[in-house]
Structure 1
Amino acid sequence: MKKTLSIIALSIIGFGLVSCKKENKEVAGKETVATDSTATTAAHADPTLAPASTETADPASNQPLTTIALAENSFDFGNIKKGDKVEHIYEVTNTGTNPLVISEVKPGCGCTAGDFTKEPILPGKKGKITLHFDSSNFDGNVNKYADVFANVEKAPIKLTFTANIQP
């Protein structure tokens, strides 16, 4: 009797593990499909571009692709006082033939916030991405970033900034 119950219990546990493994494989397969094409092309073409994130669905990915040009993708605030709240505007130009749709600006940490042009940016037109930084909890040199999700082939686009926080 004990042997039969043990076999049944192991069968149930084993079935549960197989089911979990199958679900994980399906999720992993979706992630691989979502990131493979952008990760390899982004890494080879431009080291400042990060592989696509699979944490959230990107609404811009449903839009026809376009191309983008940045006036700059990094900025140095130089020396700032601890507690200062600073911001920098990154100018973007739609260099493609379809409207540019920025769907999200995702900062790397809570000390940084992003604003961006919400309406589609028509071909040849310019838009803005503003990064706001609160230096209250930092000392010395800092390097921060934000990922910009848009309907471009090599999304997300990584914007970076540095600052030297002084007391």
Structure 2
Amino acid sequence: MKKIILGLSTLCLIAFTSCKENAANKIDDKNVAEAAVRDASSSKFPVIEFDKKEHDFGEIESKTKVTTVFNYKNTGDAPLVITDIKSTCGCTVPQDWSREPLEPGASGKFSVQFNGSGTNKVSKTITVTANTEKGSETVKITAFVKPDPNAAKKPATTTSTIQVK
């Protein structure tokens, strides 16, 4: 057993010491220049700027559908690609955004429809997933939802007392 361990140790020692070529000699200046250009361009990101970060619909009646448009501009140094726009719930539907790259300086828009669900002060967040440095941006809609005046009123509950003798 000692001979096997000694033989393997010798074989490993020979294998590790036989590679005398210096790794620094293998570096190609052309590859270094290409890597520098790639790294410089990878630090450039698109920047999405909205005309408004929040929209208030004011007072609306329950179940009333309302829509707003969020305009945005790519103020960064690279093309902007929006991959998804989602809301915090199904009552708010983002739609109509371009999935094509938006060049620096160009503008775009998307609409958000809210179906008027909820009561009193309602706030919904819309998350825009894009290739920005953060990866996502948010905008918000708010509304004060008034009860529907035509909705049936719930009957008042009454309690009766039974006396047992």
**TM-score where L is the length of structure 2:** 0.59
Separation in 2 of the partners of 1:94 and 1:67? Answer: 5
Quote the residue 1:16 is aligned against: none
Find the counterpart in structure 2 of residue 141 from structure 1. 121
Task: Specify the code of the residue in structure 2 equivalent to 1:120.
Answer: P
| Paired residue total | 104
The structural deviation recorded for 1:117 is: 2.2
Select the residue among 64, 75, 87 that pairs with 1:95.
75
Q: CA deviation at 1:72?
A: 1.0
CA distance in 1: counterparts of 2:91 and 2:101, whole angstroms: 27
| Equivalent residue in structure 1 for 2:93, among 113, 117, 130 | 113
Distance 2:66 2:101 in 1: 27
Matched residue type, 1:96: G
Instruction: Tell me if 1:130 matches 2:74.
Output: no
* Structure 2: gaps spanning 5 or more residues: 1-43, 148-165
One-letter amino acid matched to 2:83: S
- Distance, in Å, in 2 between the alignment partners of 1:146 and 1:74 is 10
> SS of 2:46's equivalent?
coil
User: In the alignment, does 2:129 pair up with 1:163?
Assistant: no
CA offset digits 1:84-129 (Å, max 9, x no partner): 1111111110111211100000110111111222221111110012
Q: Which amino acid in 1 is paired with 2:107?
A: K
Consecutive aligned runs of 4 or more in structure 1 exceeding 3 Å deviation: none
CA distance in 2, matches of 1:156, 1:87: 22
Query: Is the partner of 1:124 in helix, strand or coil?
Result: coil
- Max Rg structure: 2
Q: Which has the higher contact order (CA 8 A, sep 6+)?
A: 1
TM-score w.r.t. the length of structure 1 is 0.58
Q: In structure 1, give the amino acid aligned to 2:121.
A: N
Query: Which residue, out of 21, 33, 46, partners 1:66?
Result: 46
Matches of 2:86 and 2:60, distance apart in 1: 23
Q: Percent identity at matched positions? A: 35
Distance in 2 (CA, whole Å) between partners of 1:70 and 1:157 is 10
* Higher-helix-fraction structure: 1
